[in-house]
Amino acid sequence: MATNPERFFRAVQERLIDMVLIRAGSFTMGSPADEQDQMDYEQPQTVVTLTRGFKMGKYFVTQGEYSSLMNTNPSYFCGDADRPVGTSSWADANQLLRALDTA
């Protein structure tokens, strides 16, 4: 069965830009010292302040979505287009965002 590439691209583009706002503010990161079964890397508790809000993707980017825009796949575990992109670099992510801006 043939698929319409334009329709697929439009669906991919809409999903990739489904973002949620992470608001500016403060929160405590880490586990309390008396928490049962805490891990060492969860200490010490630290107050984190975001001075600016930012947007983050609501869903992970699948290998199929990434490949359809970038014509490449940086993932180590390939073969299933529904798997999330893995082993991508900061540069890979920025190239993807630039591609979305021009799509």
Domain spans of the chain? Answer: 5-20+56-102
Residues 76-101, mean pLDDT to the nearest whole number = 89
pTM of the model: 0.59
Show the tokens assigned to 77: 């575990």
Q: What is the dihedral of CA 49, 55, 58, 62, to 10 degrees?
A: -110
7-44 tens-digit pLDDT: 444 444 555 557 789 999 999 999 999 999 999 999 99
